[in-house]
Amino acid sequence: MSPAAAPGGAKGPGEGGKVPRHVAIIMDGNGRWAKQRGLPRVAGHRAGAEAVRRALQAAADHGVEALTLHAFSSENWRRSEEEISDLTALMRFYLERELKTLEKERVRLKLIGDYSAFGAELVERLEKAVERTADNTRLTLVIALNYGSRTEIAAAARRLAVKAVAAEIDPATIGETELSAELQTRDLPELDLLIRTSGEVRLSNFLLWQAAYAELLFLEVLWPNFDEQAFAGALETFAARDRRFGGR
Ligand code: IPE
Ligand code: IPE
Ligand code: MG
């Protein structure tokens, strides 16, 4: 990676400070990429993991502060046992291989979703990586694992209800800020840009609350083909958008 750019600074296509602080990506299309080549789906996931490395590098180079990647949804358990076990094995492999890179490049790893579902061994590795990178400040890489947005919002509401019952908070004071503070994304900047690859035009239960005022970008490119140019292009599109937030 090249030297750090100032967060939200004037480097890259967003000259003038229009670099999104927080970018999220629904990395879709691995299966179709493999199918196009007559390969098994796992080959698509492997190629997708290489695209993750490129996206991480591009985000750091452009001065993005947080990059959230959807790696496994709470609905992805509907896939075959074989595919789930391939995905788990790949996560283990890349975690081991890339931990040094995260440390070297000063990237903080953060997890969202109920990743405990992936078993004690992977959980231990994941948590070790989170701990080892906790003090890094150049970029926060957020990986969504067994993540579902409705589940996240329901859990936040449940925690607020528990606090209210315990008389720790007055229900009348519960507002957007209080609910946001219970979400797993509580320590991240507002989501600015949400990208989905592979031509599907839906959110698939990803960051529903957080995307309230994000710019949405649906790209035809299949995730394994997503590269530095595609990332730069997405930031250019973002910089050209007129974000009005209800104003005129
Ligand atoms: C995204 O690619 C990766 C995961 C959901 C883990 P897909 O596996 O959904 O690829 P397509 O949609 O079948 O092409
Ligand atoms: C969304 O992709 C989840 C991830 C990219 C991890 P899916 O391929 O699972 O979504 P649907 O099934 O097309 O909605
Ligand atoms: Mg898909």
Which ligand approaches the C-alpha of residue 206 most closely?
2
Task: Tell me: pLDDT of 69 over 90.
Answer: yes
pTM above 0.75, yes or no: yes
Task: Answer whether 45's CB lies under 8 Å from 86's CB.
Answer: yes
Q: How far is CA 10 from CA 3, 6, 241, in A?
A: 14, 8, 17
Cα of 44 to ligand 1 centre, how many Å?
A: 8
Residue 39 phi, psi (nearest 5): -105, 160
DSSP secondary structure code for residue 203 in this structure: -
Lowest mean pLDDT among 1-10, 34-43, 130-139: 1-10
pLDDT 10s digits, 9-36: 444 443 445 999 999 999 999 999 999 9
Domains and CATH numbers, the chain: 19-149+191-240 (3.40.1180.10)
Mean pLDDT score across all residues of the chain: 94
Region 79-104 average pLDDT: 96
Residue 127 has pLDDT above 50, yes or no: yes
Which structure tokens are listed for 54? 């490129």
Q: Which residues pair with residue 218 across a beta bridge?
A: 196
Pocket of ligand 2 from Cβ distances under 6 Å: 26-28, 70-73, 76, 200, 202, 204
Alpha carbon distance 60, 101 (integer Å): 12
- Sign, CA dihedral 128-131-137-139, equals positive
Displacement of CA 3 from its chain's centroid (Å): 23
Q: Do residues 148 and 205 touch, judged by C-beta distance below 8 A?
A: yes
Q: Residue 248: which pLDDT band, with cuts at 50, 70 and 90?
A: confident
Distance 20 CA to ligand 3 centre (A): 25
Distance CA 147, CA 3 (A): 32
Which of 107 and 16 is assigned the larger pLDDT?
A: 107
First to last CA, the chain: 39
Looking at the predicted structure, is the pLDDT value of residue 6 above 60?
A: no
Q: Are strands 107-112 and 139-147 parallel, antiparallel or unpaired?
A: parallel
